[in-house]
Amino acid sequence: MTEDRQFLIDLAKMQMPFGKYKGTFLIDLPEHYIVWYKTKGFPAGKLGKQMGLVYELQLNGLEEMVREIRKKF
């Protein structure tokens, strides 16, 4: 399995680990929340990279792709 594929699978299953939206799948976080993090700075590490990808996916209307991956895994 390629790293990119595994990263998408991990993103599909990842839930916000803290804060107001704790337990919400990252891909289902409200757009305004992701945009706020974009301006504030995403957390360090894998979570930050995942949230950055969520930002790009939401910007381009591709959230459903990740939700479909979640259904398969």
CA separation (Å) from 71 to 26, 37, 43, 58?
Answer: 15, 27, 27, 19
- State pLDDT tens for residues 57-68: 999 999 999 999
Helices (H), 14-44: 31-40
- State pLDDT tens for residues 34-50: 999 999 999 999 999 99
State the pTM of this model: 0.92
Residue with the larger pLDDT of the pair 4 and 1: 4
H/E stretch holding 8 reads helix 3-13
Helices (H), the chain: 3-13, 31-40, 45-59, 63-72
- State pLDDT tens for residues 5-35: 999 999 999 999 999 999 999 999 999 999 9
pLDDT score at 73 = 87
Task: Report domain extents, the chain.
Answer: 3-72
